């Protein structure tokens, strides 16, 4: 065999080996997500919401592998942390990007932060490797520059749009990701012709707004999914998206009606950093 042909064969074998390794990691993510989803560390109430949030399908769509460095933005009460942190514990790294809590923060924000940190501290075997990124208006570094394989945000964009910080947040995600890294976005989905003012008022954002905002930061939309769609969601409630579960803003008023609708209709968008 000539030297040139031998080199070509070696390169082909290497490419096949790399593809097989990626496939093996993907298979590993599949089984690890299953394991994390049924674990005793998850409350029954959280497991009951899997039918609305489709965590396994969503994470596999984004391309999660257990050897990745993954940042979750504003993990709040830790619903996705319960799945992501155990999956990434042994071979990857999970970053919880939380906003700084100060003495001036509302009591509910302080309690939420304390509860989240308490959840992690109570299960060091699962969460002992979690790293925090503490964000503030003047410091939005969600992970060391160019270090993350994936940044994930679930139902947060409407908050940043209202606060006028969406552009800065998406830029922070771009800076944190490696070249070729993935940004996964799940967000309440407005009808295409919804005005920006109505988006802010209702909590439902248009896909066009999210794609445009991500594009300004440098991201390219590479795929979208209907995994988290809900055709029952009319998006015309007096209390916006918070009328639906899990918030149920109006308590017992029409409770059964809103429970029958379920959680909001959501876009699921996958972006890449070129």
Domain boundaries, the chain: 3-272
Residue 93 C-alpha from the chain's centroid: 15
> Residues 13-36: what's their mean pLDDT?
60
- Strands 93-99 and 69-73 come out as parallel
CATH 3.40.50.150 fits 3-272, yes or no: yes
Higher pLDDT, 155 or 108: 155
Give the pLDDT confidence score for residue 26 in this predicted structure: 52
Q: Which of 25-39, 48-62, 200-214 has the lowest mean pLDDT?
A: 25-39
Give the whole-angstrom CA distance, residue 186 versus residue 103: 31
Please check the confidence at residue 2 and state whether its pLDDT lies above 70: no
For 239-253, what is each residue's pLDDT tens digit? 999 999 999 999 999
Q: If pLDDT is split at 50, 70 and 90, which confidence band does 137 have?
A: confident
Burial code (b: 16+ CB inside 10 Å, e: under 16) for 2-24 equals eeeeeeeeeeeeeeeeeeeeeee
- Note the pTM of the prediction, 2 decimals: 0.89
SS (H, E, C) the chain: CCHHHHHHHHHHHHHHHHHHHHHHHHHHHHHHHHHHHCCCCCCHHHHCCHHHHCHHHHHHHHCCCCCCEEEEECCCCCCCHHHHHHHHCCCCEEEEEEECCCCCCCHHHHHHHHHHHHHHHHCHHHHCCCEEEEEECCECCCCCCCCEEEEEEECCHHHHHHHCCHHHHHHHHHHHEEEEEEEEEEEEECCCCCCHHHHHHHCCECHHHHHHHHHHHCCEEEEEECCCCCCCCCCCCCCHHHHCCCCCCCCCCCHHHHHHHCCCCEEEEEEECC
List Cα–Cα distances, 49 to 32, 37, 43, 147, in angstroms: 19, 11, 10, 32
Please check the confidence at residue 32 and state whether its pLDDT lies above 50: yes
In this structure, the dihedral spanned by the alpha carbons of residues 209, 194, 58 and 15, taken in order and rounded to 10 degrees, is: -40
Q: What is the CA radius of gyration of the chain?
A: 20
Please check the confidence at residue 4 and state whether its pLDDT lies above 80: no
Q: If pLDDT is split at 50, 70 and 90, which confidence band does 176 have?
A: very high
Give the pLDDT confidence score for residue 27 in this predicted structure: 57
């Amino acid at each position: 065999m000539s030297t040139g042909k031998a080199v070509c064969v070696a390169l082909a074998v290497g490419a096949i080996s790399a593809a097989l390794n990626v496939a093996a990691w993907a298979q590993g993510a599949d089984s690890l997500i299953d394991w994390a989803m049924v674990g005793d560390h998850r409350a029954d109430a959280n497991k009951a919401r899997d039918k609305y949030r489709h965590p396994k399908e969503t994470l596999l769509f984004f391309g999660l592998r257990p050897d990745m460095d993954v940042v979750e933005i504003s993990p709040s009460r830790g619903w996705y942390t319960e799945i992501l942190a155990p999956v990434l514990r042994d071979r990857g790294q999970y970053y919880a990007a939380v906003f700084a809590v100060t003495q001036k923060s509302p009591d509910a924000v302080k309690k939420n932060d304390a509860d989240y940190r308490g959840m992690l501290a109570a299960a060091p075997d699962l969460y002992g490797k979690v790293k925090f990124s503490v964000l503030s208006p003047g410091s939005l570094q969600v992970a060391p520059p160019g270090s993350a394989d994936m940044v994930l945000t679930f139902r947060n964009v409407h908050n940043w749009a209202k606060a006028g910080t969406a552009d800065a947040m998406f830029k922070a995600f771009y800076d944190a990701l490696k070249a070729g890294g993935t940004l996964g976005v799940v967000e309440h989905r407005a009808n295409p012709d919804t005005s920006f003012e109505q988006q802010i008022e209702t909590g439902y954002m248009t896909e066009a707004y999210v794609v445009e905002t991500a594009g300004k930061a440098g991201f390219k939309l590479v795929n979208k999914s209907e995994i988290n769609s809900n055709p029952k969601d009319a998006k015309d409630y007096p209390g916006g998206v918070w009328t639906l579960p899990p918030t149920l803003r109006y308590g017992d008023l029409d409770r059964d009606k809103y429970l029958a609708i379920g959680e909001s209709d959501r876009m699921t968008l996958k972006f890449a950093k070129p």
